């Protein structure tokens, strides 16, 4: 069908590309990775600006189109490669799953981006400890609300919705990793913790892990 393999503009450390890597792996879609090193400001290179004027990762070049925004890409994958499904079939349950995913994608992650940390440091003279408190604050606020919503929801199974990972897990697992890196105390989140543990044991999540990406370099 495809004459050329999809090209995925990614950065191993960043959590939005990690979401899409999980979705691509769950749907068994092969692709080539082009690394956009955010620490080196590669996203501001003129060549990449033409791919994605927002200067963010990920971007996916597939079927002659460039797709951007991780959740829009995953919804596109769901439209075009429906098997296995990452969203439920009933509208109510789709809204539930999308709402959980958006809690991470809108209310946690955007506040913890590298560009935001840089702004806090440069413009508010934020020290590393204050930056870490900022990160922990928004992460824990969001994750606790997810834990509460999942606690008594009968739709929950081994994963946030039923017994297969889906859209929420594509967002949760990268966010959980950030929470660990930021030293969050995750002990009070047993439901989410169990889901993360089960997901990380699956081949698709192993394949998508930052440490296994072609542009991976160990932390200094």
| CB of 94 or CB of 156, closer to a second copy | 94
Segment interacting with a second copy (CB under 8 A) among 20-28, 143-151, 182-190, 198-206 = 143-151
Distance in angstroms between the alpha carbons of the first and the last residue of the chain: 42
At 157, phi and psi to the nearest 5? -135, -130
Among 7, 29, 102, 191, binds a second copy (CB under 8 A): 102
Does the protein bind a second copy through residue 139 (CB under 8 A)? no
Tokens 């989410």, located at residue:
192
- Only one of the segments 26-34, 132-140, 180-188, 206-214 lies at the binding site for a second copy (rule: CB under 8 A); that segment is 132-140
Return the axis-axis angle of helices 91-107 and 70-80, rounded to nearest 10°. 150
Per CB under 8 A, the list member of 6, 29, 42, 111 interacting with a second copy is: 111
Segment contacting a second copy by CB under 8 A, of 26-34, 122-130, 155-163, 177-185: 122-130
Residue 204: which of 86, 93, 104, 60 has the closest Cα?
86
Minimum CB–partner distance for residue 40 and a second copy (Å): 20
For residues 173 and 202, is the Cβ–Cβ distance under 8 A? no
- Restricting to residues 9-68, which ones interact with a second copy according to CB under 8 A? 53-56, 63, 65, 67-68
Q: Between residue 158 and residue 187, which ones bind a second copy under the rule CB under 8 A?
A: none
Instruction: List the one residue from 7, 29, 126, 200 that touches a second copy (CB under 8 A).
Output: 126
Query: Which of 33, 32, 47 has the alpha carbon at shortest distance from 2?
Result: 32
**Residues at the site binding a second copy, with contacts judged by CB under 8 A:** 53-56, 63, 65, 67-69, 71-73, 75-76, 79-80, 91-92, 94-96, 98-99, 102-103, 105-107, 109-111, 116, 119-120, 123-124, 126, 130, 133-134, 137, 142, 145, 148-149
């Amino acid at each position: 069908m495809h004459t050329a393999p999809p090209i995925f503009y990614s950065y191993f450390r960043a959590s939005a590309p990690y979401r899409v890597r999980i979705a691509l792996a769950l749907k068994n879609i092969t692709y080539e990775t082009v690394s956009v090193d955010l620490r080196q400001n590669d996203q501001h290179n003129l060549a990449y600006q033409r791919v994605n004027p927002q200067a963010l990762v990920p971007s996916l070049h597939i079927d002659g189109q460039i797709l951007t925004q991780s959740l829009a890409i995953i919804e596109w994958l769901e439209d075009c490669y429906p098997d296995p499904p990452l969203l439920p079939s009933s509208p109510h349950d789709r809204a539930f799953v999308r709402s959980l995913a958006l809690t991470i994608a809108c209310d946690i992650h955007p506040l913890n981006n590298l560009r935001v940390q840089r702004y806090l440091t440069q413009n508010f003279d934020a020290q590393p400890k204050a930056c870490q408190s900022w990160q922990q604050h928004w992460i824990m606020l969001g994750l606790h609300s997810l834990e509460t919503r999942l606690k008594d929801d009968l739709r929950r199974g081994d994963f946030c919705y039923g017994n297969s990972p889906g859209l929420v897990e594509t967002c949760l697992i990268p966010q959980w990793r950030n929470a660990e890196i930021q030293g969050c105390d995750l002990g009070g989140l047993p439901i989410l913790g169990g889901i993360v543990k089960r997901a990380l044991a699956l081949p698709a999540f192993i394949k998508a892990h930052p440490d296994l990406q072609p542009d991976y370099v160990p932390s200094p």
